Chains A and B, each alone.
Chain A
């Protein structure tokens, strides 16, 4: 068996090309590791047989020099991406037996580049949550634990299955989606790299919708370089998504030949006033120092409307969700709980099919769109959104990137915040403004806190400037203290 713990996407790519191992050997090694890692509860569904068949095909292609750019490399898919013939549940009971007859554009792009799906990764139900505790499949467990502690921690959310799987080396790359931080926050909690591309960069077609104007697909990987490779394969214009951007996908890997000297980074004042843990604040200051030393100008900037981002987000996202989730009604597909009439069928199906957090958001969203409340909530939130967007555009007139922590704290314990929605929502305070402005951002592991848990730094750049994220991000990887892998405490022997 290959020790997949030491591998990442780009090293696998090189090894497969060189013939160090075959795709089939690699897939078998991941399967064995996944089977020993059931404790983490990352995969909702596995597709091992399919993967082994595909690996054989990939090995053939590699031999014949017909390989795609990521040929034969295994991948985990967030269970929000529709996969043809493979159960797609959004980690909800209401879709517990749903098998799409179609393939999402992003997964299709990845498969076309040669990647092999190992299975579908858990997430918060319909991507609503920041801890992956709302999954109908149960909580996902973070492979990281505090030093000298056996307390189980959350892997973040909603892409907690993806972040935990990459951190635990259960796949070198996982797809994820980010509506208010659902890629970056779990990446920060698990010591992985999470990229939320510009809104419109990756097609939303075939991804179960949460909040359409905010949802964006992106990768969770082990390194910045892998993130660039993955985005290359995922991104692209799609005429099936009206909000997809018809913008050329440049060669993202080129970022590596660039110099940061003379460039500038903005530090938003308003974020300094937030309630951040001491370790995270220190880590942020440290990161600023790394850039200074690299000749980057550090500027203090203002994002005055960002203090309203969280309330605006928790109006807009639930409003869209309340409408997007109306299609899960027990009529056409998915779960149906019969009733004596139509109304009771609707009520029972949705009462049993949706979990508490999803119901909470549908209720909030329905409320803010209701006659008499629309102007005070939804319309006002949209205005705030526009102002936040303008704040960022103003900032990017003077800086090339913005640097903030990704989260106010490191990973918390399973069950600790689940009964306090407001506390849970405050996890997104640093990530949400980026979604409201449609900007790209990346979370990169930047160190360990005093209890040994990973922390993440967030870089934000202007629309469609993902390349600068990689360019700036690389310095964090090079400057931080070495982050060891989580110990394999969960592995069944």
Chain B
């Protein structure tokens, strides 16, 4: 039995007619981070006035020729290495022929038979903490098309070629995903890897990462069912919605006695449904053939070795190291590696400090503050060094947990260091016994009736502690207060 028709599926859709399993494969189009386009010198940056990033090559003027951008090749190889994939030293650019106004050449330059990157693998950790391994079938380089605007004028379509020729990596998985959740987690993980590698910024709202989703359903253990391809879905949320809708649609069709016909479908974000775009019969014959304007790519081992040297620590390795070095649990480590900037921030904070306390402050106070302010961690008003100093003041007893939160808020507003705030505003904790004793005596005197009650019900002690701390404006050290209250009441 192949691993593709396992009788113990990970995820089941139950139905009165029996169990169903969903099988999903993805084709991710990731825009390569590069200054210029795949085969021309014009800018590959997002936005810009329409038609402002268009060279003669991008506009397919007569006699214009493509020249490969080495940086894009380097990025594709780097990505391949990050996906633990085979790098093909020999690869070929092919022309994929079809007519469309935003495809000025009348063909897209892509890689068909000989992609630059072969099989690889991505580990994805599911919500329950278990890991699945998603196999990558290939990664190839290709050009993006331009953009058509059908809504500017009722009579005409307008075309912007800024995106025409921008370099994409198409990353194709094997049909190894079994639920919308798995697909979403996979894309999230892939995006994290691409961002670690700095080969794609992963900004889905700018179209830097888009997915074609192949969905089929089957009875557990059966052969693969007929698939439908949902084109060009551009957010992780929509990927999940499209899969959920499409798998349910296919199950309904089959259960109503119909067959699934292989087709290309579109996901409509306004209705949350997929609809047919073209059937297999209407599919294009792309007439792929090697682009005679370009020589095959031949990569030297030296070229690949150089890139290996540049590889950063990747999320899986970083997680292992953080767990090992800082004794973090898997949950905390996952949070920190989900963005390499988090891990970097953490490692500054945790240097010489309690790692658990450091994670808690980062994933708790800091993340909620940044979220509230809509800031990225590298724009944080509180630097990692300053957060570390705040934690130092907690550890040495200068600040109670509560005081620390107040200081944190002031740090957020003023960007001052914790020590400076504590000094300026006299916010340090009162630990000196005689001062606390005075406060305790005052509260006990004022509440002699409650003292008797407390002797009966020792839980009342907490009320006294609270009153004392309140009297101290939060500065009294809670454990000292507790100690003295017990002593004075005589418990």
- Say whether B60 contacts A323, CB under 8 Å: no
**A6 contacts across to B, CB distance below 8 A:** none
CA distance A207 to B293 in the complex (A): 12
Among A41-49, A234-242, A272-280, A394-402, the one that faces the other chain is A234-242
- Say whether A102 contacts B106, CB under 8 Å: no
- Say whether A329 contacts B289, CB under 8 Å: no
B61 at the interface (CB under 8 A from A): yes
B395 at the interface (CB under 8 A from A): no
- Say whether A327 contacts B295, CB under 8 Å: no
- Say whether A242 contacts B68, CB under 8 Å: yes
- Say whether B289 contacts A333, CB under 8 Å: no
- Say whether B287 contacts A329, CB under 8 Å: no
Q: With A346-B99, A370-B287, A371-B285 as given contacts, are A327 and B66 in contact (CB-CB < 8 Å)?
A: no
- Say whether B289 contacts A243, CB under 8 Å: no
Q: Which of B59-84 contact A (CB under 8 A)?
A: 59-68
- Say whether B285 contacts A370, CB under 8 Å: yes
Q: With A239-B67, A369-B289 as given contacts, are A333 and B159 in contact (CB-CB < 8 Å)?
A: no
B335 at the interface (CB under 8 A from A): no
B218 at the interface (CB under 8 A from A): no
| Overall SS of chain A's interface | loop
CA distance A206 to B293 in the complex (A): 13
CA distance A207 to B61 in the complex (A): 10
Neighbour of A212 across the interface among B59, B67, B97, B293, CB < 8 A: B293
Report B439 CB to chain A, min CB distance, Å. 82
- Say whether A213 contacts B287, CB under 8 Å: no
CA distance A370 to B289 in the complex (A): 10
**B240 contacts across to A, CB distance below 8 A:** none
A462 at the interface (CB under 8 A from B): no
**B107 contacts across to A, CB distance below 8 A:** 323, 326
- Say whether A326 contacts B62, CB under 8 Å: no
- Say whether A104 contacts B63, CB under 8 Å: yes
Q: Which residue of B lies closest to A367 (CB)?
A: B287
On chain A, the number of residues with a Cβ less than 8 Å from chain B's Cβ atoms is: 43
CA distance A342 to B157 in the complex (A): 10
- Most-contacted residue by chain A among B60, B106, B107 (CB, 10 A): B106
Q: With A320-B292, A331-B101, A332-B104 as given contacts, are A207 and B287 in contact (CB-CB < 8 Å)?
A: no
Q: Which residue of A lies closest to B285 (CB)?
A: A371
Q: Which residue of B lies closest to A212 (CB)?
A: B292
B105 at the interface (CB under 8 A from A): yes
B294 at the interface (CB under 8 A from A): yes
**B65 contacts across to A, CB distance below 8 A:** 204-205, 240-242
In addition to A88-B62, A207-B63, A243-B292, 6 A-B residue pairs with Cβ atoms within 8 Å of each other are A95-B62, A100-B63, A204-B63, A242-B68, A331-B104, A332-B59
Please list 28 pairs of residues, one from A and one from B, whose beta carbons are closer than 8 Å in the complex, sorted by A's number: A82-B62, A88-B62, A90-B62, A100-B61, A100-B62, A101-B56, A101-B61, A104-B63, A205-B63, A207-B63, A209-B293, A212-B292, A239-B67, A240-B65, A242-B66, A242-B67, A242-B293, A243-B294, A243-B295, A322-B97, A323-B106, A326-B97, A327-B60, A331-B101, A332-B60, A332-B104, A369-B289, A370-B285
Interface residues of B, Cβ cutoff 8 Å to A? 56, 59-68, 95, 97, 99, 101, 104-107, 157, 159, 285, 287-289, 292-295
